[in-house]
Structure 1
Amino acid sequence: MVTILEALTLALDLHLAGRFGEAQELYARILDAEPEQPDALHYLGVLAGQIGRGEFGLTLIDKALALRPVEADIHANRANLLRGLGRLDEAEAGYRHALALRPDFAEAWTDRAFARHGGSDAAAADMAADLLERALRIEPGLEPAREKLVKLLHGRGRLRLESGQVTLALTDLLRAAALAPQDADIAFLLGNILFAAGLRADSVIAFRNALALVPDFLSAALNLGIALAATNRNIAALAPLRQAVRIDPAHPAARDTLAVALRTLGRTDEAAALDAPPARKPSPKPSDPRRPRRPRRAP
């Protein structure tokens, strides 16, 4: 005969595997046998929220909390349901309660950050970043916290750069690059910020990183050439500028910048050959020149 614990373990395995219907049926059977089983009430409440029945889920989780009022997991999941229902002030209180019970609850710090970042104001984003940093200090490998923080820092850094807050933007992008060293977009934006801050030699490193990650990243190749020229490495600048022209032979900025670099070196004949750009071939589909094409994944 299957015990309640064995049935609960199987139900949770089904739940985590995304087999919600089977898990729901098994949770219900457990509650038929033991109506005040707190784990079944809790997990069935979570499942109800996942299938769009948040209010019913709250009813179940409240019953679980009445049985286990100091269980941090239950308070955190109740806050998640409230967040899903748009009741953000109540969700915030729930996360605070969970964290008061367990200060090292990294997932709750992360979930609280998700709720705080629901606001569009800068203060909410700043608070969310602080909460995510705290979560990562507790559990450095917590992927949802890392991904959310990278996205937040990337977006905030771009906005700060556009508004002239170069030092703050640099702080954001240095941290984002440390968290996501394989992200070419972040490496590229970091290069732009370093260049704007007058750190031209450092910008060369960032642009090289972006181009190494995505070899057909035209803007990274172009900006790498510009940064090399700005650090008096005119001969070295030719290689990335030629690469930019190979990526898009008709790109005006790439051709013009390469021509200037060649003339600076006295190679006027080569520069003259770039004065008349080739006709662009019609593209079979629109492209976004601001974004690099991603390399294919290995099979």
Structure 2
Amino acid sequence: MTDKFKQAQCLHKAGRFAEAQDLYVQVVNDNPYDAEALYLLGTLLAQGGRFNKAEVFLRRAVQESPRNSVYHCNLGVTLQNLSQLDRAKGCFQRALKLDRENVDAYYNLAKLYKQLNHIDEALLAYEQAVSLDPNRFDALINMANILVDQGRLRDAITCFDRAAKVNPSSDRPLINLGNTYRRMGLAEKAINAYDAALRVRHNDGLRIKQALTLPTVYQSLDHIDYCRTSLKTQVGELLKDELNIGDPSLETSTTNFFLAYQNRNNRDLQQSIAQLHLLSCPTLSWTAPHCEGQPVRNPGKVRVGFLSTYFRRHSIGRMMIGFITQLPKDEFEIVVITTRGKGDLISRAIEAAADDLLYLPQSFFDAQKTIGELKLDLLFFADIGMDVRTYFLAFARMAPVQCVTWGHPDTTGIPNVDYFVSGEQIEPQDGVEHYSEKLYQLPAPPTYYPFPEIPDGLKVRADFAISQTRTFYLCPQSAVKFHPDIDQLFAGVLRNDDDADIYVVEGAVGHWTEQLRERWRVTIPDVAARIFVLPRQTPEDFLALQSAADVILDTPHFSGGNTSYEAFAMAKPIVTLDSAFMRGRVTSGLYRLMEITELTASSLEEYVAIAVRLGKERDYNLALSRRIGERRDILYGRQDVVDGFAEFAHSVAHKAGAK
């Protein structure tokens, strides 16, 4: 090894890349076949992002030393950065043939497989890397993230725990650990993990996220009250601090989604949380140039933008497709704002109806400005509270008029959201008191819901291993809707109908259902064994389950929406409870449209009585099913709702332009 080569290596290690490169070039010129010099020159160029040049020297190094596993591996990394993925994979595989203990090769092959969406192969390669080097921090983190995506949350927690022990000076595994516990609905454990992360590094975004962390399943009404009191206290304390957040969509990365399931008026609390976000990141309230001063309305058609990341085969897509496709094109210029996806019938129909289509940029603040550049008269959020970016985008003034509807049926508390568009049949008399926005009520629930297509040859009970001889009560709602009050409803039904069972469907996260089962073993131990959990279903099998049920049980305080429209299309009776807030009055509102009163209870006791009568009296059940079948058409394809929205849009757009 020459002195010049040694000096180049020292400069390289010291980060003096330009000087090191000059010396490496001299060494290579002196000896064009020096594999190590070629390799180090190529590595240095790759470190500087000059991958095309790096490839040249790394290939020469491999040619001079074809049995060097490390050289093949680093060539693979360079090719991966050049998006030559098949060639990169070949390099990693050759590196492993030469050295089965090359941890870097396993690690980089795993990253490549993940990029190719070969998830099982990626996980196996990470496992092999970690088995060779149990302290490989980045492999543990990446492996845990894959396990989270696969729903293997307990295994992910084990990996994040290991990563935290390997590198206690990093808050990354602790934040991810908290996020995983949060996804499982284990709020207390999530908060403790966030505490540990905050002891490692100050993080204002994480402080807010910690304060907003709520359980998915509440154990009792007292538990709800305790969580709300704690949330109010923490938000109040944070409002006193001087917080500084650059991009809340990344640093806080949460909405107030679970507040809606507590059966409380959230207006004041939502406003306090919105104030906290605005104080910690004032740029959230950015105003588009065309909205400054006196807004000028576009001449001619009203330019209305519809925004959601769920314009696809999703309840939001189903609820919104008619609004977007049925608006009169001679009066409205329709702009659809969404994210790029694989595409299905609903997303394609919505996008085809658009005069302009915007796929949201990845950068949050770019998204703000890009929407502002559309120069909309009205921006309509199909949902606020489900998607993090959508939630924080609503803080900006991107159109003179901004409104939201029932996609996530709770007030936002956000100052720049002007209207909440709802329906007369689903709002209580004091509904205006529940919203920070101005409440606008259409003549029916705010959807042009097409009559659902019910496939032929649906599965029957036997296909789900459900008894043919026992009464089949089905509660098809998401686990997050199972308020503690439902326990006594289930118990009342089962105690009064000995020949019956209740079936529910597993939650989006299996751990939520586990927590429900644990709660039932405590609150209703005598009948808990007669509540059965079915696995997640395909959309077609979900319809089949509803079709096969004797009685469908609605969740109190947060009723079915899409599921109720589907069940009524099959003329299935649903037992529901008229609740205090719109989100608990959708099914009962649909009954009001059909002028059917017998299946809406005004108390928990009446709910049980209605359900048991439906279950035990076959003729009564059939009579109500026939009546639903005769009257259900009024629920679907309601042009008066679209016309009502058009009138609303014209009115508010003209008022904004006339200010």
| Shared fold (TM-score, shorter chain, > 0.5) | yes
Q: Distance in 2 between matches of 1:65 and 1:276?
A: 66
Structure 1 gap segments, 5+ residues each: 261-271, 292-299
1:145 aligns with 2:142: no
Question: What residue in structure 1 maps to residue 159 of structure 2?
Answer: 175
1:58-95 deviations in Å (ceiling 9; x for gaps) = 33333323332211111112212221222111111111
TM-score normalized by structure 1?
A: 0.66
Q: Distance in 1 between matches of 2:21 and 2:46?
A: 12
**Closer, same or farther: CA 226–237 of 1 in aligned 2, 3 Å:** farther
Q: Distance in 2 between matches of 1:231 and 1:277?
A: 18
1:143-170 deviations in Å (ceiling 9; x for gaps) = 44344445x33xx62x55xxxx5xx344
Query: What SS does the corresponding residue of 2:115 show, helix, strand or coil?
Result: coil
1:6-59 deviations in Å (ceiling 9; x for gaps) = 432321232233322211111122223333222111111223334455444333
How do residues 123-202 of structure 1 correspond to structure 2 at under 5 angstroms?
Answer: 124-150=118-144, 152-153=145-146, 157=148, 168-180=152-164, 182-183=171-172, 185-195=175-185
Q: Is the 8 A contact 1:225 1:238 kept in 2?
A: no
Q: Distance in 1 between matches of 2:53 and 2:194?
A: 48
Q: Distance in 2 between matches of 1:256 and 1:136?
A: 42
Q: Distance in 2 between matches of 1:81 and 1:232?
A: 58
Q: Is the 8 A contact 2:109 2:125 kept in 1?
A: yes
**Closer, same or farther: CA 213–176 of 1 in aligned 2, 3 Å:** closer
1:206 aligns with 2:200: no
Query: What SS does the corresponding residue of 2:33 show, helix, strand or coil?
Result: coil
Amino acid at match of 2:230: P
TM-score normalized by structure 2?
A: 0.33
1:82 aligns with 2:79: yes
Amino acid at match of 2:136: L
Q: Is the 8 A contact 2:153 2:184 kept in 1?
A: no
Which segment drifts farther, 22-31 or 54-63? 54-63
For residue 23 of structure 2, the aligned residue among 26, 30, 33 is 26
1:241 aligns with 2:252: no
1:190-239 deviations in Å (ceiling 9; x for gaps) = 233333xxxx6xx5333333356459744544545776755976786576
Query: What SS does the corresponding residue of 1:113 show, helix, strand or coil?
Result: helix
Q: Distance in 2 between matches of 1:53 and 1:276?
A: 54
Q: Is the 8 A contact 1:207 1:224 kept in 2?
A: no
Question: What residue in structure 2 maps to residue 285 of structure 1?
Answer: 283
Question: What residue in structure 2 maps to residue 47 of structure 1?
Answer: 44
Amino acid at match of 2:159: R
Amino acid at match of 2:234: A
1:125-155 deviations in Å (ceiling 9; x for gaps) = 34323322322222233344344445x33xx
Amino acid at match of 1:193: R
**Closer, same or farther: CA 14–117 of 1 in aligned 2, 3 Å:** farther
**Closer, same or farther: CA 220–45 of 1 in aligned 2, 3 Å:** closer
Higher relative contact order (CA 8 A, sep 6+): 2
Query: What SS does the corresponding residue of 1:117 show, helix, strand or coil?
Result: helix
Q: Is the 8 A contact 2:72 2:91 kept in 1?
A: yes
Question: What residue in structure 2 maps to residue 13 of structure 1?
Answer: 10
Question: What residue in structure 2 maps to residue 100 of structure 1?
Answer: 97
Amino acid at match of 2:182: N
Question: What residue in structure 2 maps to residue 268 of structure 1?
Answer: none
The alignment of Structure 1 onto Structure 2 pairs a total of residues equal to 256
More strand by share: 2
Q: Distance in 2 between matches of 1:25 and 1:19?
A: 11
Q: Is the 8 A contact 1:208 1:224 kept in 2?
A: no
Q: Distance in 2 between matches of 1:256 and 1:74?
A: 56
Q: Is the 8 A contact 1:225 1:240 kept in 2?
A: no
Q: Distance in 2 between matches of 1:50 and 1:136?
A: 25
Which segment drifts farther, 110-119 or 225-234? 225-234
**Closer, same or farther: CA 137–231 of 1 in aligned 2, 3 Å:** farther
Q: Is the 8 A contact 2:216 2:258 kept in 1?
A: no
Percent sequence identity over matched residues? 20
